[in-house]
Amino acid sequence: MTARIIDGKALSKRLREGFKQRVGKLVEQGLQPGLAVILVGDNPASRVYVGNKVKACEECGVRSFHIALPDDAAEAEVLATIARLNADPAVHGILIQLPLPPHIDNRNVLEAISVHKDVDGFHLYNVGGLVVGNTIFPPCTPYGVQLLLDTTGTDVAGKNVVVVGASNIVGKPMALMLLQREATVTICHAKTRDLAQHTILADILIVAAGKPGLIVSQMVKQGAIVIDVGINRLPDGKIVGDVDFEGVKEKASWITPVPGGVGPMTVTMLIENTLRSAERALRLRQADDYQDWEAPVVHPAPH
């Protein structure tokens, strides 16, 4: 058996076509969605990621604000920049490109972003929302993974799901989102003993560990769905995931490639969250007494 490919690039393209229509409707009513991206320092990888986000904004008709601060920028300067963007009605989403320089406290910066504009989903309000099941802005990568799973037609309720990696950005929120769908979730991390003992039981295996080739075919259940979130650059410049794609694809039923799987969806869901914020801003503008802050996330159909 050879796994079917879960094509994140194709799904992302379809979703972005829908985004253009949503942006058009907003513009007709006098509101252009805006996303501000703050980059502190000159990390080459971060510059590439920011460039991809700005390009995605342009593609969908979202106005982008790119704020570049020097590597030695004081934390107070970053916080002041965020405060200015919080108050700017033209900005509907604010993104801080991580990692930040070591002299800046990540938590202080992320918590300074208004919960109304936290389109990355990293504010404690949104993280807490995941626990109770009604977060406003789901973290972009887990959100994208969820939609990729939907394209397989799989009902995750009751399935054994193993998440390898326990980061605040992917692993933990991914587990919470799957629990909301009544999956049985196991989280593995750096201290997990005998990783294969857990992964071999997974109906759905999601890997976000940042270690190339961590998962090989012997660790995967026959017919499992495998989602590879890892993006690793080898010494020869090749980009690979955390999963041995060539070996595992002969055992899995579905698998994401790297690149072309989860990566495109992360940026796409950032745009989705920004549009959601802009649409909410328009509703509030049209009706002063309108309140929807407790409304659950409505996921776009993957088609």
Please identify every residue annotated as catalytic: 53, 97, 120
- Residue 249 in contact with residue 64, Cβ under 8 Å? no
- Give the C-alpha separation, 105 to 218, whole Å: 41
